[in-house]
Structure 1
Amino acid sequence: MARPQKRFTQLIEEIDRTPWGPAEQALVAEAVALAVELGDEQLEYEARMRQTASANMNGATDVMLNSFAWCLARHDADPQRFPADLEYGGADLMWQFKWMASSLRSSPAFSLDQIAAVLDDMEEHYRAAGLGISGVLTARFEDAWDAGRIDEAEALRVQLEATPRDDHSHCDACGRSQVAGFFAETDRDAEAIRLVEEMLEGGFSCGEEPEHALSRVLVPYLRAGRPDDAKSAHLRSYRLAKDNPDNLRIVANNIVFSALTGNEARALAQIERHIGWLAHDGLNVDAHFAALAAFAFALDRVTAAGHAHTPVRGADSPALIVFFEDHEGPWGAADLAAAAWASAERIGAEFDHRDGTDGHARALVRLRALADESYDVPIRSDAFVSSPDSTTPADADAWFDRVMDLAQFGAEHETLQALPHALAVEDPSKLAQLMSMRLGILIALDRADEAAELLPARIDALRAAGLDVQADLEQRLGLATFGLDTPEAAAALEDELATAASLPAWSRGDLAISRASLHMHADEPGAALDMAEIAARAFAEAGDVRLSNTTTLVAIAAVLQKGDIEAAAALLDRFLDQDDLSIGHRAQALQTRARVRGGSEAFVEGAADADEATRLLAGLGATKALAAAHLLAGALWEDAGDPEKAVTRYRVTSRLVAQEGGDQAGADFRLARAMLAAGDAEVAAELFGQVLESEEQAEVHAASRAMTASLLARALAASGEFGQAVGAFGYAAELFGEAEEHADQAVALTERAKILARFDENDEAIETLEAASEIVRKAPDAVGALADVLHNLGQAYGARQDDRAFALFDEVAALAQEHGAGWLLADVTDSRGRALAQFGRTEEAVAAALTAADGFAAIGDAGSAGGSELFAARLLAGDDRAADAVPIYRSALEHAAEVPPLRQVSALELGTVLESLGRHVEAAEVRALLDA
C-alpha cells in the first residue's frame, strides 16, 4: 500500500480528473480523512477546498458550509500558508464565497442578519484582495431576487450590467441563465429567450448549464407560440438534469412543463422518479418549496385527467413524512396534490416571515395561475394505464366466472388475487373448482407445501358436491392431478390410468390431462398428444366444454413442441372459430397464434391477434398478463416495420411493469428502441439513458450495457447532441471491449470517428479508425463490420492524400466480390474515385466514378448512380473538359428523376457548362427542368 503522503497525492490527482458525483465525493472524503490523520493542515486545506466545490455540485449543503468556514478561517489567519487560490482548476475561496450566501438563503433556518453578514464579509474580502465587485453584486442580486425584493433586484441587475466583468464574475453561461430566469419571472419572456439562445449559440456551459437556463424558458417558449423549441429545450434540460439530486429545482421546472403540455402521465412518472430527492439535502429548503409546488401543480393536472386515485409510487417513503405527514396506505394523486400544496405553502410562509416579503406567496400565485393555460406538445415517453378491471364483479358467482377466465388464460397471480372474492359461492361444485384452480397454481409456483395443506379442503368440497369417486381418487393420488412433477406422481397417474375404465368420464379425463401435462414438462409431445386425445374423448362424454377446450390448448401446445407449425396454425384457426370459448381461452389462443404468426413472419396478422388478446385481458383485470401481452404486441408491430404502433404498446407495457413489478429496464429499452426507429430521437435518448443507469446499478453484463450505450449514442447523434454522442460511443466501445465483442467495439469506434470527422477533428478521427481497424481484425467472420471499418478508414486516408487508402479499398472490394455485395462494391469503387481525385489523378478518378455508377444502376440504386456521375462530370468540367462532362451530366439527370435535390444540382451545373460552351438553347432547356 502507498505511503500516506503518496496516497494523498494520488487522491488529489484522481479527484481532479473525476467527474462530479458519488465516486468523486468518496475520493474527497478519503482525502480529507487522510489529511486529518496525518495532522497536516495544509494538506487538509487542499482537500477541504475541493470538498467545498464537490459538496456544492452534489447538493451537500451542510458539508459545503462547514468546509468553507474551516478554509476561510485558515486563510484569514495565514493567507500565505493557505492561499485563496490553489490553482488546481477548481473554484478558489473567493469564488466559493458566492455559494455561501445562496446556501444560507436557501433555508429559513438562517436569519436575514446571517445572510447580510456573509454578503458584507464577502465584499470586504473582495475589496481587501483587490478584486472587482461583479461577483459581490451578483450575490446581492440573487439575494434580493430570492427574497422577493424585485425592485431592489432590478436595480442591482442594472448596476451589474454596467459593472466590468472580471475573473470572479459569473461565467457566461451562469450569468445569462440567472438573468434569463429573472426576466421570465418578471414577464419579460422575449428577453429571457434571447439570453438563453445567445448562450446556446455561443456554446456556453457550466456545472448546471445549459440545463437550468433551458428549464427557465420553457413556459416563455410556450407563450411565444414556439412549441417545438419548448419541447426540444425540455427534453435536453431534463436529460442533462435528471441524474443529480442537486438539480431538484431544474427537474421541478420540467415537471411543470410536462403537466402544462398535456403530458400528465410523463409528469407523474417524473414525480415518482424524483420525489425521493426531497430528502437529499435538508438545507436546500427553497428547492423543496419549488419541487413541492411543481408536484402539486402536476398532480392536480393528473387528477383533472381522470386519474385522481392513481398511486404515486415512492410518496409513502418514511423519509418524506416530514413533507407529507403520515398517511394510511399508498398516496393517490389527488390526496398527494393537496398535501404537497399544504407543505409548499407552509415552507413559503416560513421564508416570507423571515424575509419580510410575500415573495414565496407570489410564486405560488403565479404557479396556480398556470392552471388556466394548456398547450398541446405530445411527448410519448409515458402513458396512463386505466384500471383494466373496469367492471368489478357484483357477487361471488360473478367472481367465480372471473376466476375461471383468469385461470383458463393462465394468469396465475391474478387468479390467486381474485380467488378470495369467489370463495363465498354457495354451489359446492363451484367451490371445488376454485380449490382445484388454487392447488394447480400453487404447484405451478413451486409452493407445494401450501398446496398440501389445502388438499383436504378440496377433497371435502368434492364430497359436499357429491363427487365422492373423484374425492377418493385425489385422496389416493395426493397432488398428482394438480401438476406435481415428480417420478412418484407420474407413476401414480400411470397406475390409475391403467385401471380407469370403471371411473366416471370426467375423472378419466382429469387423469389423462394431468398425465399429458407431465409429458409436456418432460419434452415428450407425442405422448402428451396421446393423453390429450384420451382426455378430449372423456371430457366430451362428460359434457364439460371448459375442459374440452383446455385439452385442445394442451394438444396445440404439444403440436408446437413437436415443431409442426403448420398443423398448430390450422388447429388454432379452427379453435378460434368456435363460439363456445371463454374469454380466458380465447385470449390464450390468440396470444399463442400471435406467436406462431410472428414465427412465420406474418407480423401484421400476429400483431392484430396480440392486440385482441390485450383487449380481452384488460376486461379481466389481468394486469401482469396484460403487460406481457402488450409487450408481445409491441414486438410484433416492431417486426412488422411499424414502430409507431410498437411505441403505443410498449408505453403501456412500461407503465404496467412499473405498477406491477417486472423488468422495467427491458420494457423501457424496447420503448426507446421503437421511439428511435419512429424518429423520436430526443425522447429515445432520455429513455436509453435511464435504462443504462438502471443496468449500471444492477451490474448487468458489459455486452448488454454496451448495446444500450451504443443506441443511446445513436439517439443523441440523431438529436443533434454530437458531443454527448461521441462520449457515449466511446463508452460503448469500452464496454464491448470488456465483453470481448470485437466487431461491435470496432463499429462503435467507427461511429465515434464519423462524428469527430464531421466537426473537423480529423486527427482524432483517424486515430480512432486505426484503433477500430486493429480491433475488427480480431473478428474476421464479422464481414460487415470489417468492411465498414476498413472502408471508413480508407476514406479518411484518401481525404488526406495518404496512399494507404488504396490497399484498404482493395480489401473491401475483395470482400464485396467474395460475398456478392454489389452495392458495397459500387460504393467502395466510388470512394476510390474520390480518393484518386484528391491525388489529382483525374482520368483514373473519372473511370472509377463511372464504374461505380454502373454498379449502382445495375442493382437499381439510381440515386447513388447519379451521385457518382455528378462527381465524374464535375471532375471533367473542372479539368477544362466541359464537352466531355455534358453527356455524364445528362446521365446524372436521368438517374436523378426521383431524387429532387440531385436533379436540381445536376440541372443547374449542366446549364452552366452548356452556357460556357455557347450552347445557350440547350442550357435554357435544361434550366427549364427546374420549373417542371
Structure 2
Amino acid sequence: MTSYATRIRALFDDIDRTPWGPEEPALVAEAVALAQESGDERLEYEARLRQTSSANMAGDTDLMLTSFAWCLAHHDADPERFPAVLEPAGDLLWQYKWMAGALSNSPEFAPAQIAAVLDDMHEHYRRAGVGESGVLMARFEDAWSAGRVEEATALQRTLEATPRDDYSHCDACVRSQFAGFFAETGREDDAIRLVQEMIDGGFSCGEEPEHALARILLPSLRAGMLDQARAAHLRSYRLAKDNAANLAIIADNVVFCAVTGNEARALALVEKHLPWLVDDGLDAAAHETALASFAVGLDAVAAAGHPDTPVRGSDADELSTLFGAHDGAWTAAALSSRAWELADAIADAFDARNGTDAHRLALTRLRDAASERYDVPIHSHEFSALAVSPTPSPQTPEERVTHALVLTGAGSSAAIDAIRAALPDAVGEDRIALSSHLLSALCSYGRTDEAAAELPARLAALREEGRDVQAGLEERLGLVLFGVDLVESLPRLQGELDALGDDHPLERADLLSTLAIGRMWAGAHADAVEPARAAAALFAQSGDARRAHGMRLLEADAVAADGDTAGSAGLLDALLHDEELEDGRRVRVLATRARLHGVAEAFAEGAAAADEAARVAVSIGVDDAMVSEMFLLAAMLHEDDGQPAAAVSRYRVAAERRDAVGLPSVDVRFRQGRAMLAAGYAAEAVDTLNEVLREESENGVEPGSRALTAVLLAQALHAAEEYGNAVGAWAYAADLREEAEDAVGRAYALVQQGRLLGRFGATDDAIEVLTEAVDLVRGNEDEVGLLADGLHVLAQAHQQRGDEEAVTLIDEALELGRRHEATWFVADVLDTRARLLVGQGRTDAAVATALQAADTFADAGDPASAGGSELLAARVLREAERADDAVALYRAAFEHASDAEPLRQAVALELGDLLEALGRHGEAADVRAVLPA
C-alpha cells in the first residue's frame, strides 16, 4: 500500500504542476487507475476530484459526469472521510456548478433530471452554509439554455442583487454569461459594455476572455466597431484554438469570418476544427452551434465562388459517423447542406425536450446573420487566384494516356499511379513511352525492385513494336538506362553509343539523353551540354517532340550549372515560345526560368513565372509536394521583390500542401509570419509565429533558431500593440540567445525589452535589463551601434528615475555617435539631453540643446523630428514666459511639420493659443485654419 501511495502522491504532484492540455488528463487517468488498483478509496477520491476538473476543462462531459457522481456518492455516504473540499485536489461544491449545465447541453437528459440536480445542488450548498449565488447562476444558465427567457431575466436580475460568496462564478464568467444573454435577447450595447469592462479590468479564467470576446463579435460589427471586432476575433481565436472544449467559441469566430469577407479563413477554421464535432458526444448544444456556424462559413465559401472546393479532412473515418458515408472529401456546398440538416435535427430534439422554440429561433437568427456583410479584411488566408481547380479526372483511354504523360513531364510523383492506370489500354508508342516513364519514376523513388519486375513486360512491348535494337540495349544495360548506378555506368553507355550505327536515331537519342543525365549527376555540367543538344535534335527529327523538349530543358540546366545563366535563359525562353510544349514540361521550364530571374535579381519577372508554374501545376493535378514547391518558389520571389502581401497567400498554400502529405511545414510558416509582419498584418503574424514557436519548442529545435522566431514574434506583438506580451517575448528571445551562447543577440533582445519596460513605467526593471545589455557589448568594436543604442535607452530610463547616471550615459552615447558619424542618432541623443536639461530647470541650456538637435535632425534628412525638437524648445520658452521667442520656434516647428500632420496640428493648436494670448488674433486665426473643423 505504501508503494502505491508514494507513486500516486508523486502523480498528484505532477498533475498539480501540469497546465491544462493533452498531458494532464493522461496523468489523471493513471492516478485513478493506480488508486483503483490499490483499493484505497480515499486516494481514489482525491484522484477523481482532479479527474472531474480535468474532464471539464478538456470537454469530456461523459467522464466529468461519471467522476463527479462517484465522488458525490462517497461524500454523501461518509462526509468526514470524503470531505467536499479537499485542496488541492478539488472542491465538490464548486464542481456541482458544472453538472446542471452539462445535462442541459444534451437532449438525452429530461427536464426533471436537470431540476433534480439543481435541487440537490441547492440542498448541498444549504447544508454546507454556502450562499445562493452559485445555485442561482446554475438555475439562470439552465433557464436561458432551455429558452425560458422571462425566468432567465428574473434570475439574472436576482443575481445582480445577490451578494457574492466563495462559490459565486468569477467576475470574468459572470460578465461573459450575462453578455451572451444580453446579446441574444436584444441588449447588444449592454453586452459590449460588460465585455469591455471585463477586458479593461483584466478579468480572466479558464475559458475567458476568449468566450466573452466571441459573444460580442456580431454585436460589435453591428455597432460599427469594426477594428475592435477584428481585434476581438483574433484574440478570441488565438486563445481558444487548442482546446476542443471551446467548440462554441470557434463557432462564433467562423461566423465572424463568414460575414466579414474572410471566406478563406472561415474554410480554414472549419477544416481545422471539424474533428472537434466528435470529441464530446454529450455536448449536443455545442455541436448544434458548431454545425450551424460551420454551415454559415461554408455557405460563404460557396457564395464567394467556391462551392466545389473540397473541405479537407471531411472524409475522415471518425466523421463518417456524424455526416454519413461519402466518397472522398465533401465539397463546401454539400457539407454545408448536411451540417444544416444535422443542426436542425438537434434543435428539434432540444425544443421537444424543453417545450420551447428557443433552439429553432437561434438557428433562424444565425441564418439571418449570415446575410450581413462587413468589410473587415484579415490577411492570414485568401483564395489564391492561382489555386484553380484541377482538370476533371480522365475518363477515356486516350485521356488517361495524355494525363499520365503530362504528369510525367512535370516530374510529379502522381505520375506513377497515372501511368499504371493508363498502361492497360495503351498501345503502340504510347505503351512504350509509358512503360519507360514508369521505370524511370520507380527508380527515381528508389523502388528498384518494382522497376525490375516491370522490365520484362517493357522488353516484350518493345519487341512487339519491332524495337529490337532498343530491347537489346535494355537487356544489356538493365535499369542503368532508367537511372540506377548511372554515374558508375557512364563508360558502358559511351561504349554502347560508339558501337551503335547512325541508322538508329531513336536508340542513339536515348543513349545520348541518358549520358547527358549521368554527366549532370556526376557534376560534369559542361560535358552534358553537347549530348543533351544532340539528343534533342534526334528526338525532334524522329517526331518525338516531348522527349526533345525534355532534352532542351536538360541542356538549359547544364548551361546554367556551368555558369552561363544568360545562355540558359535564352534556351528556356525559346522553349516557352514553342507551341508544342505540353503543360507538364511547361511547369518545370517556368520554375527553372523563375529561379534564373531570381539569380539575376529580376524578382518581379521571376515571381510572375513562378506564379504561372504554380497555376499550371494545380490545373494538371500534380502531387501536393510539387504544388507546395511551386507556391514556395513564388512566395520567396514575391518577398524578394518587396511584395510581402503577395507572398503571404502563397506561403500559406505551400504550408497547407506540405501538411497534406505529412511534410514539415514549420519553416514555410515561419516565412509566412515574417511576410505578414512586413506586409503590416501584425495581428495575423502573431498567430502564425506563436504557432511556429510552439511547434519548434515541442520538437526541440535548437535555441538559436527558436530565438529568430521569438524575435519576429516580439516585433509582431509590438506592432499589434500587445506591449505586455511583447515584453515577455523579448525576454524569452534573450534567454534563448543566452542558451545559444550568443551574447550580442541577447544584448539586442534586452535592449528592446528594456525600451518597452521604460516606455510603460517599469523603470527599475528597464534599468536592470539595459545595464546587462550594455555590459554584454561594451568593448565589442563590431557592435558599436548596439552599444550606443543601449546606452541611450539606459540613459532615458535613469532620466525617468531622476538618476545622475543619465548625464554620463548620454555623454558616452553622444561620443560614440559622433565618432562614427551617426548623424540621426546624435540628433536623437541631443533631444534626450535637452529633455534632461528641462527636468533640471536649465532653460537656456535646454533650448540651445533642443535647437542643436533640430539642426542635426535636419542635416540627417528628417524634418519632422527636427520640428519635434523645435516644439520642445518652444514649449520650454513658453513655460519660461518668453512668449515672443517661443512664437518664432513654434513657426519653425510648423514649417518642419509640413509632412507630419499630427505634429503640424499639435503645433498649430499651441501656437494659435499663444498668439491669442498675445492679442494677435488674426495670426492666431490663420494658424488655426489648418486644424480640422
TM-score by length of 1: 0.88
What is the SS of the residue equivalent to 1:455?
helix
Q: Is the 8 A contact 1:249 1:287 kept in 2?
A: yes
Q: Which moved more, 1:194-203 or 1:29-38?
A: 29-38
Give the C-alpha shift of residue 500 in structure 1: 4.3
Partner of 2:153: 154
2:204 alignment partner AA: S
CA distance in structure 1 between the aligned counterparts of 2:477 and 2:843, rounded to whole angstroms: 89
CA distance in structure 1 between the aligned counterparts of 2:572 and 2:859, rounded to whole angstroms: 45
Give the C-alpha shift of residue 654 in structure 1: 4.3
Partner of 1:691: 692
Partner of 2:211: 212
Partner of 1:476: 476
- Paired residues for 1:97-116 under 5 Å: 97-116=96-115
CA distance in structure 1 between the aligned counterparts of 2:836 and 2:501, rounded to whole angstroms: 86
Partner of 1:168: 167
Is 1:295 the equivalent of 2:291? no
Partner of 1:897: 898
Partner of 1:57: 57
- Paired residues for 1:81-100 under 5 Å: 92-100=91-99
Partner of 1:644: 645
CA distance in structure 1 between the aligned counterparts of 2:708 and 2:226, rounded to whole angstroms: 32
2:832 alignment partner AA: S
**Structure 2 unpaired stretches of 5+:** none
Q: Is the 8 A contact 1:832 1:848 kept in 2?
A: yes
CA distance in structure 2 between the aligned counterparts of 1:216 and 1:923, rounded to whole angstroms: 50
Give the C-alpha shift of residue 554 in structure 1: 1.8
Partner of 1:259: 258
Q: What do residues 594-643 of structure 1 show as CA deviations (whole Å, max 9, x unaligned)? A: 22222332222221222232333343223533332222222222222222
1:102 alignment partner AA: G
CA distance in structure 2 between the aligned counterparts of 1:914 and 1:370, rounded to whole angstroms: 55
- Paired residues for 1:318-467 under 5 Å: 318-370=317-369, 372-384=371-383, 388-390=389-391, 395-408=396-409, 410-423=410-423, 428-467=428-467
Is 1:239 the equivalent of 2:210? no
Partner of 2:311: 312
CA distance in structure 2 between the aligned counterparts of 1:86 and 1:819, rounded to whole angstroms: 67
Q: Which moved more, 1:418-427 or 1:492-501?
A: 418-427
CA distance in structure 2 between the aligned counterparts of 1:787 and 1:418, rounded to whole angstroms: 63
1:153 alignment partner AA: A
What is the SS of the residue equivalent to 2:642?
coil
Q: Is the 8 A contact 2:255 2:370 kept in 1?
A: no
CA distance in structure 2 between the aligned counterparts of 1:684 and 1:471, rounded to whole angstroms: 58
CA distance in structure 2 between the aligned counterparts of 1:578 and 1:326, rounded to whole angstroms: 47
Give the C-alpha shift of residue 925 in structure 1: 6.3
Q: Which moved more, 1:687-696 or 1:878-887?
A: 878-887
Give the C-alpha shift of residue 141 in structure 1: 0.9
Pick closer, same or farther for the CA change 1:905–1:384 going to 2, 3 Å: closer
Q: Is the 8 A contact 2:487 2:519 kept in 1?
A: no
Q: Which moved more, 1:822-831 or 1:589-598?
A: 822-831
What is the SS of the residue equivalent to 1:478?
helix
Q: Is the 8 A contact 1:876 1:884 kept in 2?
A: yes
Partner of 1:629: 630
Partner of 1:558: 558
What is the SS of the residue equivalent to 2:413?
helix
Percent identity, aligned pairs only, is 53
CA distance in structure 2 between the aligned counterparts of 1:184 and 1:920, rounded to whole angstroms: 52
Give the C-alpha shift of residue 148 in structure 1: 2.5
Give the C-alpha shift of residue 900 in structure 1: 2.2
2:98 alignment partner AA: W
Q: Is the 8 A contact 1:643 1:678 kept in 2?
A: yes
Q: Which moved more, 1:771-780 or 1:578-587?
A: 771-780
Pick closer, same or farther for the CA change 1:23–1:392 going to 2, 3 Å: closer
Q: Is the 8 A contact 1:682 1:715 kept in 2?
A: yes
1:634 alignment partner AA: A
Q: Which moved more, 1:152-161 or 1:106-115?
A: 106-115
Give the C-alpha shift of residue 686 in structure 1: 2.6
Is 1:190 the equivalent of 2:189? yes
Q: Which moved more, 1:419-428 or 1:912-921?
A: 912-921
CA distance in structure 1 between the aligned counterparts of 2:794 and 2:27, rounded to whole angstroms: 40
Q: Is the 8 A contact 1:750 1:789 kept in 2?
A: yes
2:416 alignment partner AA: L
2:161 alignment partner AA: A
Q: Which moved more, 1:3-12 or 1:728-737?
A: 3-12
Give the C-alpha shift of residue 242 in structure 1: 0.7
Q: Is the 8 A contact 1:910 1:923 kept in 2?
A: yes
What is the SS of the residue equivalent to 1:905?
helix
Q: Which moved more, 1:645-654 or 1:532-541?
A: 532-541
CA distance in structure 1 between the aligned counterparts of 2:521 and 2:143, rounded to whole angstroms: 74
Q: Is the 8 A contact 2:61 2:280 kept in 1?
A: yes
CA distance in structure 2 between the aligned counterparts of 1:426 and 1:81, rounded to whole angstroms: 80
Q: What do residues 77-134 of structure 1 show as CA deviations (whole Å, max 9, x unaligned)? A: 776777655676x974433322222223333444434322322232223334443312
Partner of 2:673: 672
What is the SS of the residue equivalent to 1:137?
helix
Q: Is the 8 A contact 1:384 1:652 kept in 2?
A: no
Is 1:796 the equivalent of 2:797? yes
Q: What do residues 274-331 of structure 1 show as CA deviations (whole Å, max 9, x unaligned)? A: 1222343344333233323333443444455555554433334444444334445444
Give the C-alpha shift of residue 167 in structure 1: 3.8
Pick closer, same or farther for the CA change 1:125–1:571 going to 2, 3 Å: same
Pick closer, same or farther for the CA change 1:464–1:243 going to 2, 3 Å: same
2:149 alignment partner AA: I
CA distance in structure 2 between the aligned counterparts of 1:323 and 1:686, rounded to whole angstroms: 30
Q: Is the 8 A contact 1:324 1:339 kept in 2?
A: yes
Is 1:831 the equivalent of 2:832? yes
Q: Is the 8 A contact 1:776 1:789 kept in 2?
A: no
CA distance in structure 2 between the aligned counterparts of 1:467 and 1:40, rounded to whole angstroms: 83
CA distance in structure 2 between the aligned counterparts of 1:366 and 1:931, rounded to whole angstroms: 42
Partner of 1:720: 721
Q: Which moved more, 1:622-631 or 1:304-313?
A: 304-313
Q: Is the 8 A contact 2:258 2:370 kept in 1?
A: no
Pick closer, same or farther for the CA change 1:259–1:880 going to 2, 3 Å: closer
Q: Is the 8 A contact 1:474 1:481 kept in 2?
A: yes
CA distance in structure 2 between the aligned counterparts of 1:488 and 1:600, rounded to whole angstroms: 35
2:265 alignment partner AA: R
- Paired residues for 1:455-604 under 5 Å: 455-500=455-500, 502=502, 504-536=504-536, 538-539=538-539, 542=542, 544-604=544-604
Q: Which moved more, 1:270-279 or 1:780-789?
A: 780-789
What is the SS of the residue equivalent to 1:21?
coil
Q: How many residues align?
A: 929
Q: What do residues 463-519 of structure 1 show as CA deviations (whole Å, max 9, x unaligned)? A: 333333233222222222323344442221132234345453333333223222222
Q: Which moved more, 1:747-756 or 1:792-801?
A: 747-756
Pick closer, same or farther for the CA change 1:889–1:260 going to 2, 3 Å: closer
1:389 alignment partner AA: P
- Paired residues for 1:27-66 under 5 Å: 49-66=49-66
Partner of 1:762: 763
Partner of 2:617: 617
Give the C-alpha shift of residue 139 in structure 1: 0.9
Q: Is the 8 A contact 1:396 1:421 kept in 2?
A: no
CA distance in structure 2 between the aligned counterparts of 1:123 and 1:251, rounded to whole angstroms: 33
CA distance in structure 2 between the aligned counterparts of 1:578 and 1:522, rounded to whole angstroms: 30
Q: Which moved more, 1:269-278 or 1:694-703?
A: 694-703
Pick closer, same or farther for the CA change 1:535–1:360 going to 2, 3 Å: same
Q: Is the 8 A contact 2:261 2:373 kept in 1?
A: yes
